[in-house]
Amino acid sequence: MTRFRLLGLAVAATVLTLGSCAAGSSDDPGSSGLGSSGSVPTLRVDVLDRRPHDPTAFTQGLEIADGALLEGTGLVGRSYVTARDLDTGAELARADLPATMFGEGITVVGDTVWQLTWRDQVAFARDRTTLRERARVAYDGEGWGLCAQPDRLVMSDGSSTLTFRDPATFAVRGTVDVTLDDRRVDRLNELECTADGMVYANVWQTTDIVRIDPASGAVVAVIDASGLLTEADAAEADVLNGIAAIPGTDRFLITGKLYPTIFDVRFVS
């Protein structure tokens, strides 16, 4: 199963051998994965505004902190993390990963930005302002998505399991399996933790986002985010990936790998 579309990239031959988390198959503008459930609501995306997004950015993580929009990207030799002014889009800081590494999800805790790698089993701790590397921490397994709650980090690895980690040491504190209608929901990818204690997760290779109660692992809502892109844009883009809650509002910024647009949205019934 490939995780990206070639698009003439110079790194295509390298990435094709990876065959896993970092990209996606086709992102048909009308496709959706989980479908409706009788036990939880299915929400839709109400688009309030649009802003430009770098169509070469292979988005793995998106987060808003202190008026900046942080984004982590993937692909071997092309992975980096940036901080941009939320209003103007001006780049404030940037850090490239080592050329051999494949970047994944990011989150902010205090004055630290944590950044995952896919199969390199290394998490980077970075300065929140400059994005300079402070430390590297080893972990087992794959890294996909990451978000922060007040007392812990929440991490996905492409399965149905969320792993809770210490926000200072990255040590494992526990796990929970995510389920919908008593069935495990796997391919959990980019994560966003919100002020109400919920966790939002992209479901890889779909246009679905699930809202998860991390105390039980239960999916409490499914968001159908299909139809955001025009057919022309979808033909050049990859999968939906990237969720950032806008502080103090009920709105989110969402985007995808190689998307030309970031969407300012609400999730509504």
pLDDT band at 51 (very low <50, low <70, confident <90, very high): very high
Cα 142 to Cα 21, 84, 91, 155, 168: the distances in Å are 9, 27, 29, 10, 20
pLDDT number for residue 12 = 36
Give the tens place of pLDDT for each residue, 217-231: 999 999 999 999 999
How far is 12 from 22, CA to CA, in rounded Å?
13
238-264 average pLDDT score: 97
Cα 132 to Cα 80, 116, 189, 218: the distances in Å are 11, 15, 25, 37
Alpha-carbon 31 to chain mean position: 19
157-179 average pLDDT score: 97
pLDDT number for residue 27 = 39
Tell which residue, 96, 81, 102, 73, has the closest CA to residue 14.
Answer: 102
DSSP per-residue letters across 90-134: -EEEEEEPPTT--EEEEEEETTEEEEEESSS-EEEEEETTT--EE
Is 17 or 232 the better-scoring residue by pLDDT? 232
How far is 106 from 183, CA to CA, in rounded Å?
28
66-88 average pLDDT score: 96
Which residue do the tokens 């030309």 mark? 260
149-158 average pLDDT score: 97
pLDDT number for residue 39 = 87
pLDDT number for residue 34 = 74
Parallel, antiparallel, or unpaired for β 112-117 and 122-127? Answer: antiparallel
Mean model confidence pLDDT for the chain: 89
pLDDT of 116 strictly over 60: yes
pLDDT band at 33 (very low <50, low <70, confident <90, very high): low
pLDDT number for residue 14 = 36
Q: What's the half-sphere exposure (Cβ side, CA atoms, 13 Å) at 238? A: 27
The H-assigned helical ranges of the chain are 12-16, 231-236
Phi, psi of 16 (to 5 degrees): -60, -25
How far is 213 from 199, CA to CA, in rounded Å?
7
Say which amino acid occupies 197.
G
pLDDT of 20 strictly over 80: no
